[in-house]
Amino acid sequence: MINSTTTTSDYMSSLLPKPPPLLMMMMKLRSVQQHHFHHIKPKASHSSIHASATTHLLDSLSQTSPSSNPLSTVTATVTVKPDGLFSRTFLSGLLYRNALHLELVSADLDPDTGLEKETVKSYAYKVRHKDGVVKYEAKFRVPTGFGEIGAVLVENERGKEIYIENIVIRGLTYGPINVSCNSWVHSKHDNPEKRVFFTQKSYLPSDTPSGLRRLREKDMEDKRGNGGGERKSYDRIYDYDTYNDLGNPDQSQDLARPVLGGNNHPYPRRCRTGRSSTKTDPSSESRSSSVYVPRDEAFSDVKQATFSAKTLRSVLHALVPQIEMLILDPNLGFTYFTDIDQLFNQQVVLPKSQKIGFFRSLLANILKVLLEGVDILEFETPAMMNRDTFAWFRDEEFCRQTLAGLNPLSIQLVKEWPLKSKLDPEIYGPPESNITTELVERHIKGVMSVEEALEKRKMYMLDYHDLLLPYVNKVRELEGTTLYGSRTLFFLTPDDTLQPVAIELVIPPMGDKPQWKQVFTPSHDATACWLWKLAKAHVSAHDAGYHQLVIHWLRTHCCTEPYIIAANRQLSEMHPIYRLLHPHFRYTMEINALARESLINGGGIIETTFSSGKYSVEISSIAYDQSWRFDNEALPADLIQRGMAVEDPSAKHGLRLMIQDYPYASDGLILWDAIKQWVTDYVNHYYADASSVVSDNELQAWWTEVRTEGHADKKDEPWWPVLRTPTDVIHTLTTIIWVASGHHAAVNFGQYVYGGYFPNRPTIARTKLPIEDPSDGEEHKLFLEKPEVSLLKCFPTQIQATKVMAVLDVLSSHSPDEEYIGEKMEPSWEEDPVIKTAFERLNLKLKELDAIIDQRNGDLNLKNRTGAGVVAYELLKPFSTPGVTGKGVPNSISI
Ligand SMILES: [Fe+2]
């Protein structure tokens, strides 16, 4: 192996203390062989020497005088991911044999000068390419006294970026060093800055080895950027911006959307891309078909073809347009229920399209290829429909799903009676609900009085009244949709199941029309029964919208992005908290960028398929403003706040559930505790001295930035936790990890199971109740003659249903490279015996949780999670196989 030569300048040499005679000899040799000169900063003496001639001489010297040899040979093996055919060609092999230039950085400063030691440099040469793995190797001559290696600087001399998995350094007296990189390194032609990779050891800022302090700071500075310019695809700059790129006013005024983020529409911040403003609205950013995310947040090029974001992109960009071509009438609904069933039984031939070509293999789940170029759309039967075709129609299932379905986070205890709106009566009409005490007592057949039911915590509700009512009149001006404010009341039966009591639908005053409100109840006559079904369809659509926009998008995807941006700007990659959080941030920014591109954008999937239409995302901003609080994102606090649990130190998890058989809560609390224990072990290990939390300037800067920049519109809220003690840190980090793992998994991976058969959870209820407007005799007549047709007309159109099904199928799917919580040990954790043991304990606890869930699902007394034809509650089972499984808790929000 041939080594390159590096040298120091004569000027520098003159400043340095005179080296010993042997080194003088070597320096002379070097001066003959001067090549290039790589500096980080002015360095102290005793540089490394890497010339082939020098190497020979040194070898001979070392043979004659082993005891006085000041250099040792060290080998670094770099594992990179091949980037397609190019890296395999003979020509590229020749061109890029020495594509990587490496520098070993000492963890120590020079004790004589107090300056950084000169790095030891060498080129890495490609040595083999086997089974999809390419190795480069570099040999170094490391001087005695160089000290421990703390980092490696990498310069990529190729014309394009390279993905480095790791660098293993062997030949050191203190054993091999494994530097885990898993990162793209830009070409030096794009950006002359060298990349630094620190070794596996984690350090709080104050413990940083002296030789690495400047690099630690510099790396964070590089990632912060200067706040200007348009981001390039190879950048790794993390910065903030508002959601000002959802609309497209340049294309049409109809597609103009308000900026989310700021006083008018408070919202979390997203990653800044620096694109130019639109021509028509300087406050909006122009749209792009390729949205920037920092380079390491977008792994799609090297991951498997079934990588989730890639699959989702293919559905949005290739399949959805095909569906739109297939169904020419956008307003066409389903005529019979059997037509809906046909979606799962019948193969639909899609129009021929070049667009699908490349994506075909990604869509194997829903797309079958019949003949060359002929694609067949075929949906899998969702598990819920598979188990019980009629479940969606029944009230028991409607109630059960509020505790164990796709959205178990909206159900709340009724704490005040009578139900009353907090909205301004001047604008929205009388605030009192028409669900009266008499009505409730009649419905629960005198089992107890309302007063007693309140006292015994027996009444629960879904409350979509105050959030939706201000949008009702606006939405009603849109075509093909309608909206009500809604309240749904439930009563808790002695066997711990919920029973529906009433649904109230409300329309605020409009012009000279007064407020309209109507209560519907499960009944025993045909007309009331069908009206109840229609009212239930509306509430299901409200719940589906709230779930997707608030519980799922806002509270997990959107609110997590600022934690990621701030962590990369303020926590060094060698900070133990960065390393703890990093697996929980995997792919989130990329999937969020894709959501801005095609899901939540003006005219995108959400707006065209949900009841609230173009106001959908704006409504999530209202929810953020009115109800999002970081402290309530912790599972126990969320349960307490909704009245679903009370604090009880004698109870397991310190909480007593109001409904014992509340599967999301009872499984979730075990997962919460497991995460908390792991975070406790981790944080206590690194912050053994409690005062080190306050003095950790990176940690403090991270948290300050989360509050004041990432969630800037909430920066003055008094409920933000402060990080003063290890306990504060533990609670804050547990909350973040819970949201990214348990919370997200519970509301994400059941999307196809529960939403795939849309009558169970229609995303839109398109028509008014037939009794709403007595002047509309036709609708009422149709309702009386064929109520089933009225219900079908209320449900999504064919195009809406098909698009949503295709998207939900992908969103519910685990990719083959999914990383589940507690499954994979990070290299830095493995190196520390305390952390390793703690992680093994986490893994064991999660395996126990897996078994507990199986055992619970076998217990027929737990009627909210199991029973005849019931899809057992598995959404918080930690592990899963790839695909649509309705279980599995990934580390991060990656789909
Ligand atoms: Fe998701």
Q: pLDDT, tens digit, for every residue of 821-856?
A: 999 999 999 999 999 999 999 999 999 999 999 999
Q: What is the pLDDT of residue 59?
A: 35
For 648-789, list the strands marked E by DSSP: 655-657
- Which contiguous run of DSSP H or E holds residue 236? none
How far apart are alpha carbons 822 and 671 in whole angstroms?
A: 11
Contacts of 797 (CB under 8 A, 6+ apart): 327, 330, 331, 332, 333, 480, 766
Give the residue from 384, 379, 459, 547 showing the smallest Cα distance to 873.
384
* Dist. CA 617 → ligand 1 center (Å): 15
How would you classify the pairing of strands 367-371 and 374-377?
A: antiparallel
What's the burial of 19, exposed, middle or buried (CB within 10 Å: 0-12/13-18/19+)?
middle
* Dist. CA 726 → ligand 1 center (Å): 30
Using 50 as the pLDDT threshold, list the residues of the chain that sit under it.
Answer: 1-69, 85-88, 302-306
How would you classify the pairing of strands 133-143 and 177-185?
A: unpaired
* Dist. CA 598 → ligand 1 center (Å): 14
For 336-417, list the strands marked E by DSSP: 348-349, 367-371, 374-377, 412-413
Locate 465 and state its tokens.
């009244």
Q: What is the pLDDT of residue 372?
A: 58
Give the residue from 47, 103, 108 showing the smallest Cα distance to 78.
103
* Dist. CA 208 → ligand 1 center (Å): 37
Check: CB of residue 493 under 8 Å from CB of residue 499.
yes
- Which contiguous run of DSSP H or E holds residue 783? helix 777-785
How far apart are alpha carbons 730 and 395 in whole angstroms?
A: 41
Q: Choosing from 50, 557, 582, 814, which is the catalytic residue?
A: 557
How far apart are alpha carbons 753 and 751 in whole angstroms?
A: 6
How far apart are alpha carbons 133 and 644 in whole angstroms?
A: 52
DSSP 293: -
Give the residue from 525, 520, 545, 516 showing the smallest Cα distance to 535.
520
How far apart are alpha carbons 417 and 427 in whole angstroms?
A: 22
* Dist. CA 127 → ligand 1 center (Å): 41
Q: What is the pLDDT of residue 165?
A: 93
For 144-239, list the strands marked E by DSSP: 149-156, 162-170, 177-185, 195-198
Tokens 């007595």 -> residue: 774
Q: Quick one: three-class SS letters along 627-641?
A: HCCHHHHCHHHHHHH
Check: CB of residue 730 under 8 Å from CB of residue 680.
yes
Rg for the chain (alpha carbons), in Å? 31
Distance of CA 658 to the CA centre of its chain: 30
* Dist. CA 341 → ligand 1 center (Å): 27
SS3 state at 704: helix
Residue 552 catalytic?
Answer: yes
Compute the C-alpha angle 229/587/805, nearest 5°. Answer: 115
Dihedrals phi, psi of 18, to nearest 5 degrees: -70, 125
Give the other-Cβ count within 10 Å of 534's Cβ. Answer: 24
- Which contiguous run of DSSP H or E holds residue 122? strand 120-130
Give the residue from 542, 615, 599 showing the smallest Cα distance to 764.
542
Residue 557 catalytic?
Answer: yes
Give the other-Cβ count within 10 Å of 128's Cβ. Answer: 11
* Dist. CA 102 → ligand 1 center (Å): 39
Q: Choosing from 3, 244, 592, 748, which is the catalytic residue?
A: 748
What's the burial of 669, exposed, middle or buried (CB within 10 Å: 0-12/13-18/19+)?
buried
Tokens 């239409």 -> residue: 613
DSSP assignment of 268-285 equals --EE---PPBPSS-TTSB
Helices in 573-725 by DSSP H: which ranges? 576-581, 588-594, 605-609, 616-627, 635-641, 663-686, 697-705
Give the residue from 674, 679, 668 showing the smallest Cα distance to 636.
668
How far apart are alpha carbons 117 and 147 in whole angstroms?
A: 10
Q: What is the pLDDT of residue 308?
A: 66
Q: What is the pLDDT of residue 411?
A: 98
* Dist. CA 809 → ligand 1 center (Å): 12
* Dist. CA 812 → ligand 1 center (Å): 8
From the DSSP assignment, how many helices (H) and strands (E) are in the chain? 31, 22
How far apart are alpha carbons 849 and 671 in whole angstroms?
A: 7
DSSP 615: G
Contacts of 810 (CB under 8 A, 6+ apart): 308, 311, 312, 315, 365, 895
Residue 98 catalytic?
Answer: no
How far apart are alpha carbons 269 and 620 in whole angstroms?
A: 14
* Dist. CA 892 → ligand 1 center (Å): 9
Locate 838 and state its tokens.
């703690």
* Dist. CA 655 → ligand 1 center (Å): 28
Residue 895 catalytic?
Answer: yes
* Dist. CA 552 → ligand 1 center (Å): 6
Give the other-Cβ count within 10 Å of 174's Cβ. Answer: 7
Q: Choosing from 265, 552, 575, 743, which is the catalytic residue?
A: 552
* Dist. CA 322 → ligand 1 center (Å): 24
Amino acid at 165: E
Q: Choosing from 584, 653, 744, 814, which is the catalytic residue?
A: 744
Q: What is the pLDDT of residue 441?
A: 96
* Dist. CA 820 → ligand 1 center (Å): 15
Give the other-Cβ count within 10 Å of 207's Cβ. Answer: 13
Give the other-Cβ count within 10 Å of 676's Cβ. Answer: 21
* Dist. CA 747 → ligand 1 center (Å): 8
User: Around ion ligand 1, which residues have CB less than 5 A away?
Assistant: 748
* Sign of CA pseudo-dihedral 631, 636, 640, 643: positive
Check: CB of residue 211 under 8 Å from CB of residue 105.
yes
pTM of the full structure: 0.90
C-alpha distances out from residue 567 to 154, 354, 562, Å: 23, 42, 8
DSSP 890: B
Q: What is the pLDDT of residue 178?
A: 93
Give the other-Cβ count within 10 Å of 715's Cβ. Answer: 13
* Dist. CA 894 → ligand 1 center (Å): 7
